[in-house]
Amino acid sequence: MALTSPEVTQHVVESKLKQEGSDRSGTAFQVLLISCLVIVLGALVALLASVSGDGLNTLSSRGIADFVLRPFSIRPEKTGVFQGIVGTVTTAVIVALLAFPLGVASAVYLEEYYHDNWLTRLIDTVIRNLAGVPAVVYGLLGYALFVGGPFKSLTGGRSVLSAGLTLSILVLPIVVITSAEAIRAVPKSLREGGYGVGATRWEVTKTLVLPNAFGGILTGTILGLARALGEAAPLILVGANTSVFSGGGWGDLTGSFTAMPMIISDWSTRPAAKWNGVTQAAILVTLLIVLGINTVGIILRNRFDKKK
Amino acid sequence: MSAAKAGNILTIEDLSGDASRRLKERIVQVALTAAALTSVIVSVAIIYTLLVDALSFLGSIKLTDLGDSVWLPRQGRFGVLSPLLGTLWVTLVAILVAGPIGLGAAVYLSEYASPRVRRTIKPVVEVLASIPSVVVGYFAIRFISPEITQRLFEGSPAKNLMVAGLGVGLLTIPLMTSVSEDALRAVPSNLREASYGLGARKVTTVVRIVIPAAVSGLVAGLILSISRAIGETMVVFLAGGNVGTRPGSPLDAGTTITAAMASVASGTDNVKGVGNTFESIFFLGLVLFALTLSLNVAAGRFVRRVRQKY
């Protein structure tokens, strides 16, 4: 074989450049990265599978309506999550009514009324730091303010109103941060157009900025809401019920209450042989609510993203 | 107004709009400021309640009581080292899980995945992020404990800090992934192109160029994940064992700052009546608040460093 045959040279150079067959570390690295994702997916699948078996059995043998509409009972085969559903839905409504307007107003202040002074900088720093405060600390605050503290006569102590107020405070920074991001994404030229025809700051905000930022704001609020509904730690401190109690129906804002995450937490610690089925069923119902809300949020976000 | 109508020169007053619009503007601004101030009030309220009750608790005990060997607040034993060590072990296990897995997933999503793969995998990570922690707590008791830890470490208690740490790690992965991915994607693509231009392979480019360039953001993600793991309550409350003794290793049952707070608050209906037991959780809350706040501030520094660079 001739040492300098052009075909051979070309082949050797080409394979050297492409590093064919020699990129073992590259392949190994990619396999390593993919296995990280596989672990994440596997964990999620295992989690969903671990709550599906007995949970689906319970729901199908008893009927979803029976399980959802029955109040607490000390007997697992008779117990339902009616009071938990009421508590969770009511807190959601309170959070939406309080955290949404307050959060959006704060975001408008930070983005549209921003003056570089100590007050705005303070508010900005405070909101950023509040977002990282653990949920259980908000529970302590809720306890100190609404359960044992100055607002007890208004909230009735350990009540769904206290829980709703506490969770509103918890999601407020999330709503502010995501709304501020959505407002920041509105193009400057739109505002300048508004000011150019003589509109005031509020008129520009109300008619140009907010309608354009609405998608992002809505998504942020919805995701915040889903987070609030899954929280159990603050509810332990606010004093959600886990034993059989009367009441806890619709509209009972100041009486005893419970919520879905509390029910799951309590039933998880009861003897598995008898309580596993209803615990899993309660988890499935909660996941349905939380993931349902999240899906709506993600779909809305994708729709608004596409428009841009 | 009258000046303009009369055909004279315009004055400043003519340009400032009519009085009712200005009044409205004023009212709106005051209302918005008031709304924004809620957050400041909330912060002050958190610090105030934590400080007042924590100090009143500290005043009611001897400070040497904090060095007790166990944390059993209902019996007046306040060995704070037990929950602190528990938090340390749980966080360590959680970060050893969430750090590498979260980073690996982020590197794949940012550097390797095609847009289509990214669009399908991203929502899965988001689903994991939205699973309530109490559900992960159940998963830790019924799956992680019997299927993983009980098999790997025979003879360890069914509920221990390792079980809790693995559960908390699972919860922390999405945060680590999303912060790291943002950091990696913020690396300008001309750095990658320059690397390819010099003949570097993909793996060399990612490991030697992209990851070092994103390191501030990655560190921020790690710190935020640690802070999140320290603050996680329900998984440890359900799966950690709730024992007040000092844990010697993650395989011991134990408690954490957060789980200790939850156990005092749950249980009896009249916890406040039992001496200073209930006040003790405000002390724990203050420790927790100080820990997570300093970590979050540190993470914020790193995030700002990324922004300044690019």
Write the DSSP assignment of A183-244 as a string of letters.
HHTS-HHHHHHHHHTT--HHHHIIIIIHHHHHHHHHHHHHHHHHHHHH--HHHHHHT---S-
- Of B60, B75, B95, which one is at a domain's C-terminal end? B60
**What percent of chain A lies above the pLDDT cut of 70?**
95
Closest CA to A51 of A272, A274, A227, A277: A277
Please, is A18 exposed, middle or buried when counting C-beta atoms within 10 Å of its C-beta (0-12, 13-18, 19+)? exposed
Q: CA B122, CA A224: separation in Å to the nearest integer?
A: 18
Would you place residue A165 in the very low, low, confident or very high pLDDT band (cuts 50, 70, 90)?
Answer: very high
Interface test with B, best of A268, A279, A289, A294 (most B CBs within 10 A): A268
Span B265-285, average pLDDT: 72
CA-CA-CA-CA dihedral for A32, A33, A37, A42, to nearest 10: 0
What is the per-residue pLDDT for B8? 67
In this predicted model, what pLDDT tens digit does every residue of A20-54 receive, in sequence order?
666 788 889 999 999 999 999 999 999 999 988 88
User: CA triplet B218, B219, B220: central angle to 5 degrees?
Assistant: 90
What is the per-residue pLDDT for B4? 47
Residue B56 is part of which domain span?
A: 2-60
Chain A residues within an 8 Å CB radius of B258: 134, 136, 233
Q: CA B84, CA B134: separation in Å to the nearest integer?
A: 22
Domain ranges of chain A: 62-307
* A308 vs B308, higher pLDDT: B308
> Token pair of A85, please?
């559903």
Q: How far is B162 from chain A (nearest CA, A)?
A: 16
Looking at the partner chain, which of B45, B238, B265 has a beta carbon nearest the beta carbon of A145? B45
Same-domain check for residues B34 and B127 = no
- Is residue B3's pLDDT more than 50? no
Chain B residues within an 8 Å CB radius of A210: none
Would you place residue B257 in the very low, low, confident or very high pLDDT band (cuts 50, 70, 90)?
Answer: very high
Q: Which of residues 133-162 of B touch A (CB under 8 A)?
A: 133-139, 141-143
Closest CA to B241 of B122, B159, B123: B159
Same-domain check for residues B71 and B162 = yes
What is the per-residue pLDDT for B39? 92
In this predicted model, what pLDDT tens digit does every residue of A204-241 receive, in sequence order?
999 999 998 988 888 888 888 888 888 889 998 888 77
Cross-strand bridge partners of residue B70: B245
Phi, psi of B71 (to 5 degrees): -105, 100
Q: Which residue of chain B is at minimal alpha-carbon distance from A113?
A: B29
Number of domains in chain B: 2
**What percent of chain B lies above the pLDDT cut of 90?**
57
> Token pair of B180, please?
């790291």
Phi, psi of A80 (to 5 degrees): -135, 180
* A254 vs B284, higher pLDDT: B284
Between chains, do B32 and A41 touch, taking CB under 8 Å as contact?
A: no
What CATH number has the domain bearing residue B180?
Answer: 1.10.3720.10
Classify strands B71-72 and B77-78 as parallel, antiparallel or unpaired: antiparallel
**HEC profile for chain B?**
CHHHHCCCCCCHHHHCCCHHHHHHHHHHHHHHHHHHHHHHHHHHHHHHHHHHHHHHHHHHCCHHHHHCCEEEHHHCEECCHHHHHHHHHHHHHHHHHHHHHHHHHHHHHHHHCCHHHHHHHHHHHHHHHHCCHHHHHHHHHHHHHHHHHHHHCCCCCCCCHHHHHHHHHHHHHHHHHHHHHHHHHCCCHHHHHHHHHCCCCHHHHHHHHHHHHCHHHHHHHHHHHHHHHHHCCHHHHHHCECCCECCCCCCCCECCHHHHHHHHHCCCCCHHHCCCHHHHHHHHHHHHHHHHHHHHHHHHHHHHHHHHHC
What is the per-residue pLDDT for B1? 46
What is the per-residue pLDDT for A7? 77
What is the per-residue pLDDT for B271? 47
CA distances from A42 to A235, B19, B90, B125, B147 (A): 31, 64, 22, 12, 14
What is the per-residue pLDDT for B173? 95
- Is residue B269's pLDDT more than 50? no
Same-domain check for residues B26 and B114 = no
Same-domain check for residues B51 and B70 = no
DSSP code of residue A147:
I
Same-domain check for residues B54 and B72 = no
Interface test with B, best of A13, A22, A40 (most B CBs within 10 A): A40
- Is residue B275's pLDDT more than 90? no
Chain B residues within an 8 Å CB radius of A126: 39-40, 43
Q: Which of residues 262-291 of B touch A (CB under 8 A)?
A: 262, 265-266, 272, 281-282, 285, 288-289
Strand locations in chain A (E): none
B232 in contact with A, Cβ within 8 Å: yes
- Of B60, B90, B109, which one is at a domain's C-terminal end? B60
In this predicted model, what pLDDT tens digit does every residue of B131-171 receive, in sequence order?
999 999 999 999 999 889 888 988 888 899 999 999 999 99
Assess contact for B261 and A136: CB atoms under 8 A: yes
Chain A residues within an 8 Å CB radius of B233: 134-136, 232-233
Span A155-162, average pLDDT: 84
- Of B37, B60, B83, which one is at a domain's C-terminal end? B60
Query: For residue A210, what are the contacts with CB-CB under 8 A and spacing of at least 6?
Result: A104, A108, A183, A217
Same-domain check for residues B43 and B101 = no
Q: What is the ipTM of this complex?
A: 0.88
Whose tokens are 């841009």? That residue is: A308
Chain A residues within an 8 Å CB radius of B268: none
A198 in contact with B, Cβ within 8 Å: yes
Assess contact for A238 and A162: CB atoms under 8 A: yes
Between chains, do A227 and B130 touch, taking CB under 8 Å as contact?
A: yes
Looking at the partner chain, which of B31, B38, B231 has a beta carbon nearest the beta carbon of A136? B231
Closest CA to A210 of A102, A97, A107, A96: A107
What is the per-residue pLDDT for B292? 94
Q: What is residue A286's three-state secondary structure?
A: helix
Q: Which of residues 32-91 of B touch A (CB under 8 A)?
A: 32-33, 35-40, 42-43, 45-46, 49-50, 53
- Is residue B28's pLDDT more than 50? yes
Same-domain check for residues B40 and B105 = no
Looking at the partner chain, which of B102, B130, B295 has a beta carbon nearest the beta carbon of A226? B130
- Is residue A4's pLDDT more than 70? no
Assess contact for A297 and A226: CB atoms under 8 A: yes
Question: A62-307 is classed in which CATH architecture?
Answer: Orthogonal Bundle (1.10)
- Is residue B270's pLDDT more than 70? no
Closest CA to B277 of B68, B67, B56: B56
B100 in contact with A, Cβ within 8 Å: yes
Chain A residues within an 8 Å CB radius of B272: 148
Chain A residues within an 8 Å CB radius of B207: 29
Would you place residue A3 in the very low, low, confident or very high pLDDT band (cuts 50, 70, 90)?
Answer: low
- Is residue B68's pLDDT more than 60? yes
Q: Within 10 A of A203 (CB to CB), how many other CB atoms are there?
A: 17
Same-domain check for residues B48 and B167 = no
C-alpha Rg value of chain A to the nearest Å:
27
Could you give the maximum distance between any two Cα atoms of chain A, in Å?
99
Would you place residue A103 in the very low, low, confident or very high pLDDT band (cuts 50, 70, 90)?
Answer: very high
Assess contact for B137 and A268: CB atoms under 8 A: yes
Span B211-224, average pLDDT: 93
Q: Which of residues 81-110 of A touch B (CB under 8 A)?
A: 101-102, 105-106, 108-110
What is the per-residue pLDDT for A219? 82
Assess contact for B276 and B43: CB atoms under 8 A: no
Q: CA B182, CA B192: separation in Å to the nearest integer?
A: 16
> Token pair of A229, please?
């509904």
What is the per-residue pLDDT for A6? 76
* A124 vs A3, higher pLDDT: A124
Between chains, do A200 and B25 touch, taking CB under 8 Å as contact?
A: yes
CA distances from B79 to A202, B72, B165 (A): 56, 8, 22
What is the per-residue pLDDT for B177? 94
Between chains, do B17 and A36 touch, taking CB under 8 Å as contact?
A: no
Between chains, do B42 and A41 touch, taking CB under 8 Å as contact?
A: no
DSSP code of residue A299:
H
- Is residue A2's pLDDT more than 70? no
In this predicted model, what pLDDT tens digit does every residue of A244-287 receive, in sequence order?
777 777 877 778 888 899 999 999 988 888 888 899 999 999 99
